A and B are shown apart, each in its own frame.
Chain A
Amino acid sequence: MAQIKYVITDGLGIHARPAGLLVKCCEDFSCDIKIGTPLKMVDARRIMGVMGLGLKKGDELTMTFEGADAKEASQALTEFLKTNL
């Protein structure tokens, strides 16, 4: 299992477009991926769940990865978060 934490710096937070792109990025991997906060974690492959977190600038998000390609997925998602959020 791998885990990453990231503080959102984008002023608009996770609105529709970044949620869609994040889900698309996860589709390249087979491991189980969750995103959220300690209070609420959701399946990172479901757009509505990701949007429903309502994460904003300054919020710290957690992503967890479980499965064969967890390490690769966590590296790709780390890059995604830095670039897009």
Chain B
Amino acid sequence: MFKKFREISIMAPCAGDAIPVAEVNDPAFSQEILGKGVAIKPTDGQVFSPVDGVIDMVFDTRHAVTLVSDKGVEILIHIGLNTVELAGAHFTALVKAGDKVKIGDALINFEKEEIEKLGYDITTPIVVCNPQDFKGIQPKTLGTVTAGQCLMVVER
């Protein structure tokens, strides 16, 4: 079988520095309780869709979004750590539950500097919430990453 049929690419939703989730300073992510994936320390305040799919939900607090890809990968993008506490301040949602999105569509804008000034770590984990449905999840890019570049690969 050809490899490309077994691999689903998850693109980087933002530009920045990609690190393994094990290095995220929050046990819910570093212990993979929320899923397997990669985290990005963003260099700007824009989050784009990492896949073609449907928005499952945008948290009321707009600090996180979940998507289901056309191939059944369930993805959580969580902007910053403990940012639920901001109750929506400094986040603007550009999509809502049920919206169909394509790779690169803008999802959420956030005021990176303002959030950091308040003392929050802006590290943004991108995790697959249903790893049990797949054979494996492999990071493809660590270090400097641009939005839209392949970040990780899900193996069917």
- Which residues from chain A sit less than 8 Å from chain B, CB to CB? 12, 15-17, 19-21, 23-24, 46-48, 51-52, 54, 56
Contact = CB atoms under 8 A, between A and B. Distances in A.
A19 B35 CA distance: 11
Contacts of A19: 34
B28 A47 contact: no
Given A15-B84, A21-B33, A48-B56, 16 more contacts: A12-B84, A12-B85, A15-B61, A16-B59, A16-B76, A17-B26, A17-B28, A17-B34, A21-B28, A23-B33, A47-B76, A47-B130, A48-B66, A48-B68, A48-B74, A51-B66
Interface of B: 26, 28, 33-35, 56-57, 59-61, 64, 66, 68, 74, 76, 78, 84-85, 129-130
Contacts of B85: 12
Nearest to A52: B57
